[in-house]
Amino acid sequence: AGAAMAAVRDVEIDPDGTFKYILVRLQRPGGEEQRDIVRGTKAAEFHNHIFEKVNPEMEKLGYECKCLGGGKIDHNSKDKKIRVFGLSTGYGKADHSVTVEILKKVYTDYEITWSDDKK
């Protein structure tokens, strides 16, 4: 079970631009094992569009998904900077500090910051 969970990428976000993101908790039904993942894309007009894509993918792998909140990501791959900010109207604000820790695992050489700013 641990291997399957490890196969799920921590982060899937667009390589550039400003877009919505959500923090999602994966859990095995009835299991103790859980982890949080970050998903974000410009293709999503609303935060729930991201969840509606992630949820069935994860259910196929045998996970229950819970959205812990959302916000926005400003990703500048040229300058190697990511800024996490804002909130989701539907899901509420994700804990951006948690999001940043997850992003740091993947974007190890980036400057990653967060704030509660709306813009």
pLDDT of residue 30: 87
pLDDT of residue 1: 52
5 lies in a domain? no
Which residues define the annotated binding site?
Answer: 20
Q: For the chain, how many structural domains are there in total?
A: 1
CATH number at residue 29: 3.50.20.20
Look at the pTM and tell me if it is higher than 0.85.
Answer: yes
Q: Per-residue pLDDT averaged across 62-84, rounded?
A: 97
**Which residues are the active-site residues?**
47
Which residues define the annotated binding site for substrate?
Answer: 20
Q: Per-residue pLDDT averaged across 21-43, rounded?
A: 94
CB 69 within 8 A of CB 92: yes
Range of the domain at 106: 11-115
* Euclidean distance between CA atoms 78 and 7, whole angstroms: 28
